[in-house]
Amino acid sequence: MEPITIFSLEQSPDVADVERRLGISRRDFLKFCAAMAATMGLPAGAEAAIAAAVANPARRPSVIWLHFQECTGCSESLLRAEHPTLEKLILDVISLDYHETLFAAAGHQAEAARRAAMAEHKGKYLLVVEGAIPTKENGIYCKIGGQTAIDMLKECAADAAAVVAIGSCASWGGMPSVGPNPTGASSAGAVLGKPVVTIPGCPPNPYNFLSTVVHYLTFGKLPALDHLGRPKFAYGRLVHENCERRPHFDAGRFAGEFGDEGHRLGWCLYKLGCKGPETYANCPVIGFNDIGEVSWPVGCGHPCIGCTEQGVGFTKPIHALADLKSVKPPLGYPHISEPRGSGASLAAVATVGALAGAVAGATWAINRNLGEKLEVEKTQPEHEAKS
């Protein structure tokens, strides 16, 4: 049996059904799957597996999506994406069985639907957590249906196949956890006491979430994670490494203040407090909402604030200098505008000529004297030469 290729799937009935459901052409859908495989660094052939898995409506995983201390910006990032099909694809790839913001149902009906989905898909559903969990005073600062966020999270996580913390608030506490942290806001992993998949960002890029879910859907496992639970394909490199302003950093060209000449010319924002040198994320690589390079803070002319990193985002002052991790500015920089050379004047040529003549004359004299000395040594008896 020949292996399935992405080209052979173009005439697949399932891919044709995707075209009908989402209003996206088959070719664009397959190109999207190929791009997703490349983004995750998967080997050749993975794009066909992704396309087959995504196009199969029977493989949609059940998703329980919880909201706690947050601004709903993570959900908005997914649903307000400017890509013409991304938000549709997200909702088509997963079976969103509980989401307080998107539910038509409310109150007891919504909670009944959540528990029914958990029972039906026990051990198989994905739990997505958006927002920090307040832990002080036994969690009284956040309740849903009379149940504290702590109790609801633990109940839903008990039978989940995987727990995904989306956004910085759920991943490491985010803005609610900044001192003095009156509610004791904590991450999902800290409350559960075990590692979870974290997709930090304020908000995170929707492609990072979609790619993580698609990887799970296709291969039955989560993508490779770093020591903080972040997918390596999205958080494996510093922002600084792929920043379009990196050449200016290497050349010593920095904007000194907002609106100055360097800022207008797109020079490096390190001196304005850019946290790219200490922040791991793929923002400069894929941008947001498919509208080009300007769709992330540095592209818009503002320093990266390090929202994906605990202890950086919402903790360090925005304009404080970043701690350089893997890169250092060189000790000496070339001038921003190197002066151009000009032709030598007659006086300069004469001076150089005179110096060269003097050096040549001195060299001749030294060689002559050295030659005479050698000749004398040759004619003298050995005992006289030594004396």
User: From residue 345, how far is each of 342, 352, 353, 354 by CA, in Å?
Assistant: 9, 11, 12, 14
Tokens of 165: 């913390």
Q: Is the torsion defined by CA of 35, 38, 42, 43 positive or negative?
A: positive
Check the annotation: does 67 bind a ligand: no
Residues 6+ apart with CB under 8 A from 3: 45, 48
Task: Tell me which amino acid residue 245 is.
Answer: R
How far is it, in rounded angstroms, from Cα 48 to Cα 65?
29
Q: Quick one: three-class SS letters along the chain?
A: CCCCCCCHHHHCHHHHHHHHHHCCCHHHHHHHHHHHHHHCCCCCCHHHHHHHHHHCHHHCCEEEEEECECCCHHHHHHHCCCCCCHHHHHHHHCEEEEECCCCCCCHHHHHHHHHHHHHHCCCCCEEEEECEEECHHHHCCCEECCEEHHHHHHHHHCCCCEEEEECHHHHHCCHHHCCCCCCCEECHHHHHCCCCEEECCCCCCHHHHHHHHHHHHHHCCCCCECCCCCEHHHHCCEHHHHCCCHHHHHHCCECCCCCCHHHHCCCECHHHCCCHHHCECCHHHHCCCCCCCCCCCHHHCCCCCCCCCCCCCCCCCCCCCCCCCCCCCCCCCCCCCCCCCCCCCHHHHHHHHHHHHHHHHHHHHHHHHHHHHHHHHHHCCHHHHHC
Q: 197 φ, ψ to 5°?
A: -75, 130
User: Is 142 labelled as part of a ligand binding site?
Assistant: no
Q: Is 283 annotated as a binding residue?
A: yes
Please check if 243 is assigned to a binding site. Answer: yes
**Is 156 annotated as a binding-site member?**
no
**Residue 307 is assigned to a ligand binding site:** yes
Residue 319 among known ligand-binding residues: no
Residue 71 marked as a ligand binder: yes
| Binding residue ranges for [3Fe-4S] cluster | 283, 304, 307
| Binding residue ranges | 71, 74, 169, 202, 240, 243, 268, 274, 283, 304, 307
| Binding residue ranges for [4Fe-4S] cluster | 71, 74, 169, 202, 240, 243, 268, 274
